[in-house]
C-alpha cells in the first residue's frame, strides 16, 4: 500500500489513495493511530483517505492521530486537491470533495509554477447553534463569548462548527497560553459530547489575527484550516472583525487567507506541500499494539 505524506502549514497527514485500492473498514482507526506514531510509525497529525464519491467528484476521510474520525479537515482538503490535480486524477481546476461535514468546492491556482501553488476552498456556511456544534444546552441557541465553567475555571467561549466543532476564546497573547493544559480539559469536557477542537485568538488589527490550536484527537498542531475559518467567524461575531473582508490568519506553521463573504460562505486560501512518498507494510501498521 503506497502513501504520500503532505502538509498544509505544518499540519501533516499520511494520505492513502483509495481510488485504486481498498482497505478494510475495521482496521482504519488502528492504522491511523500507528501511522501517526512518531517513534514506531511514520509520525503525523493523522491519516487521510482519498476515495470515490457518489455525490461529489471525490471524497475525503480524515482520521486523527488517536484513531478517531474527524468530519472535516481544511488543511487536508488543500493537500487532497493538490494531489488529485498534480497526479492527473482530474484536469479541471475547480472540483468538489465530499467530507462527513458536507461537500466543499476547491479551486486550484498556479500563480508562479506548473505545480499547484495555492488552493482556495469554499468551506461552506458556519454552523452556530448549540445543537449543530454539538454541545450541551438549549440546542436552538448560539454560544457567543459565553462564560462556561470547565475544570473549575471559567472560559469565555464562542463555538462554531465548520463541519467539525471549534471552541474559540480571545486572549491578549496567543503565545502565552498553556494550550497543552487547557486544550485537553476543554476537549474532553462533558459540555461537548463529541469532544471539540480548542483555539485561542489574538486580534492584531482589522485584517490580521494570530491563532493557535489544540486539535481534538491530535493535540497541539502547527495549523488547523477549519479552525482558522472558525476563528475568523468567532472574531466577527464578537465585533472584533468585519464580515466580507479578507483576513490573514497567522498560525505557528504559516498564514491562511480567510474570507467570510456576504453569502455566509467561508473561503480559505493557502498552500499545500509534499513531504515524501513511500510504501506501508500493512501487517506491521495494523497490529493492535506496536509496543
Quote the strand ranges of 130-245, DSSP E. 146-150, 153-161, 165-170, 197-205, 208-215, 219-221
Long-range contacts of 215-218 (CB under 8 A, 24+ apart): 215/45, 215/64, 216/64, 216/68, 216/70, 216/164, 216/165, 216/187, 217/46, 217/64, 217/65, 217/66, 217/67, 217/68, 217/70, 218/36, 218/45, 218/46, 218/64, 218/65, 218/66
Question: Should residue 259 be labelled a site residue for ligand LBFN2T5F when binding is judged by CB under 6 A?
Answer: no
Least distance (Å) from ligand LBFN2T5F to the CB of residue 130?
Answer: 17
Stretch that binds ligand LBFN2T5F, among 20-28, 35-43, 180-188, 213-221 (CB under 6 A): 213-221
Establish whether 187 is an annotated binding residue.
Answer: no
Q: Which of 253, 61, 235 is nearest to 245 (CA)?
A: 235
Residue positions annotated with a catalytic role: 73, 224
Cell digits of residue 69: 474520525
Find how far residue 183's CA is from the centre of its chain: 16
Sign of CA dihedral 222, 12, 98, 100: negative
Q: How far apart are CA 125 and CA 130, in angstroms?
A: 15
Q: Report in angstroms how near the CB of residue 215 gets to ligand LBFN2T5F at its nearest.
A: 4
Question: Is residue 161 at the binding interface for ligand LBFN2T5F, with CB under 6 A as the rule?
Answer: no
Task: Tell me which stretch binds ligand LBFN2T5F (CB under 6 A): 25-33, 74-82, 132-140, 201-209.
Answer: 74-82
Q: Which is nearer to ligand LBFN2T5F, 194 or 206 (CB)?
A: 194
Cell numbers placing 253: 506553521
226 contacts ligand LBFN2T5F (rule: CB under 6 A): yes
Q: Is position 197 an interface residue for ligand LBFN2T5F (rule: CB under 6 A)?
A: yes
* 101 touches ligand LBFN2T5F by CB under 6 A: no
Q: Which stretch binds ligand LBFN2T5F (CB under 6 A): 62-70, 110-118, 119-127, 129-137?
A: 62-70
The answer to the question of whether 64 is labelled as a binding residue is: yes
Residues annotated in a binding site for substrate:
11, 64, 74-75, 164, 197, 215-216, 225-226
**Contacts to ligand LBFN2T5F by CB under 6 A:** 11, 62, 64, 70, 73-76, 164, 197, 215-218, 221, 224-227
Amino acid at each position: 500500500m503506497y502513501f504520500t505524506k503532505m502538509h498544509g502549514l505544518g499540519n501533516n497527514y499520511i494520505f492513502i489513495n483509495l481510488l485504486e485500492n481498498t482497505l478494510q473498514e475495521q482496521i482504519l482507526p488502528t492504522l491511523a493511530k500507528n501511522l501517526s506514531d512518531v517513534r514506531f510509525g511514520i509520525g503525523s497529525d493523522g491519516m487521510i483517505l482519498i476515495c470515490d464519491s457518489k455525490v461529489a467528484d471525490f471524497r475525503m476521510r480524515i482520521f486523527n492521530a488517536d484513531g478517531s474520525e474527524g468530519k472535516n479537515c481544511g488543511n487536508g482538503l488543500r493537500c487532497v486537491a493538490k494531489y488529485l490535480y498534480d497526479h492527473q486524477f482530474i484536469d479541471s481546476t475547480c472540483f468538489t470533495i465530499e467530507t462527513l461535514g458536507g461537500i466543499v468546492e476547491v479551486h486550484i491556482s498556479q500563480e508562479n509554477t506548473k505545480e499547484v501553488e495555492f488552493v482556495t476552498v469554499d468551506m461552506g456556511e458556519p454552523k452556530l447553534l448549540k445543537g449543530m456544534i454539538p454541545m450541551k444546552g438549549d440546542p436552538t441557541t448560539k454560544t457567543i463569548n459565553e462564560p462556561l465553567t470547565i475544570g473549575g475555571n471559567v472560559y469565555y467561549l464562542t463555538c462554531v462548527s465548520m463541519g467539525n466543532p471549534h471552541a474559540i476564546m480571545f486572549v491578549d497573547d496567543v503565545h502565552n497560553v498553556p494550550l497543552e493544559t487547557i486544550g485537553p480539559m476543554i476537549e474532553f469536557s462533558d459540555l461537548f459530547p463529541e469532544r471539540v477542537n480548542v483555539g485561542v485568538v489574538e486580534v492584531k488589527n482589522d485584517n490580521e489575527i494570530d491563532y493557535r490550536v489544540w486539535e481534538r484527537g491530535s493535540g497541539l498542531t502547527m495549523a488547523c484550516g477549519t479552525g482558522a475559518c472558525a476563528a475568523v467567524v468567532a472574531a466577527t461575531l464578537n465585533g472584533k472583525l468585519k464580515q466580507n473582508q479578507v483576513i490573514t490568519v497567522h498560525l505557528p506553521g504559516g498564514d491562511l487567507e480567510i474570507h467570510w463573504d456576504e453569502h455566509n460562505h467561508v473561503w480559505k486560501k493557502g498552500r499545500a506541500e509534499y513531504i515524501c512518498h513511500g510504501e506501508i507494510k500493512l501487517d506491521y501498521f495494523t497490529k493492535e499494539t506496536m509496543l
